[in-house]
Amino acid sequence: MRRRALLGTAALAVLVALAGLLAYLTRDGRTPAKAIPVSASSVSPSAQPSAMAASSSPGDRTILSIAPATQDPIAFGKAAASALWSYDTRAYAQPELLAALHTWMTSDAKYADTASVDALVPSPVLWGRMADNGQYATASVNEAHFPASFTQAVQSDPGAITQAYVYAVTVSGRQSIGWNGSPEGGAEARSTTLAVQCRPSQNCTLVGVFPTVSP
């Protein structure tokens, strides 16, 4: 597995103080935990149980979401998770999806973990196989919150968050998948924990995706 993009010692000092939630972003040479993979449903749609799935029109490019202008990490986390769980092989190529997701990322190179986002997008080869079936996915978000360990760490050291203004946000929802001939093909519950940067007087941006979900 390729090595993740790393954040640097400045980020390490902040994130270790926040209960180690972002420790996978350090420069200490440890092998990072594996990112949440693309669902196996993307490989074999015929194996999915029948379920209602939200449908989009073929060629609909609106699924390439634009990051919202908000200073609320919870609201941003919801929107980011929805974008990460959505794709449409009928409407655009894999590099276009990657480029769209990169616009959500923080411009601060010390903190941006673009590799953790890229790891959630199917490879070009897999994307091609999915496109042969006209596969697409839409997402709905049910809830988002700060993980308990993050909240406790901030309460213990309120000043730590002001070094990078990086928040952990756990989002839960549902991903619905369809393909040619099966617009109601499959659906599954999804959860993810994101690192979101919301500096004062600036709109929130995405730092990265945690390798595991924090409750």
How would you write the pLDDT of the chain (215 residues) with one tens digit per residue?
Answer: 333 333 332 333 334 334 344 444 433 333 333 333 333 333 333 333 322 233 344 444 445 889 999 999 999 999 999 999 999 999 999 999 999 999 999 999 999 999 999 999 999 999 999 999 999 999 999 999 999 999 999 999 999 999 999 999 999 999 999 999 987 778 999 999 999 999 999 999 999 999 999 99
The C-alpha atoms of residue 71 and residue 63 are separated, in whole angstroms, by 23
Helix H or strand E segment including 15: helix 9-17
Of 111, 115, 136, the C-alpha closest to 36 is 115
End-to-end CA, the chain: 26
Q: Are 39 and 188 in contact (CB under 8 A)?
A: yes
Contact 139, 173 (CB under 8 A): yes
Tally Cβ neighbours within 10 Å of residue 214. Answer: 17
Helix-then-strand count for the chain, H and E: 6, 5
Q: Which residues contact 144 (CB under 8 A, 6 or more apart)?
A: 74, 77, 78, 81, 169, 170, 171, 172
Contacts of 185 (CB under 8 A, 6+ apart): 45, 48, 50, 51, 53, 177, 178, 179
Predicted pLDDT at 14: 39
* pLDDT value for 53: 33
Model confidence, pTM:
0.75
Distance between CA 129 and CA 135 in Å, rounded?
9
Q: What single DSSP character describes residue 165?
A: -
pLDDT computed for residue 107 by the predictor: 96
**Residue-level pLDDT at 63:** 54
Nearest-angstrom CA–CA distance, 110 and 108: 5
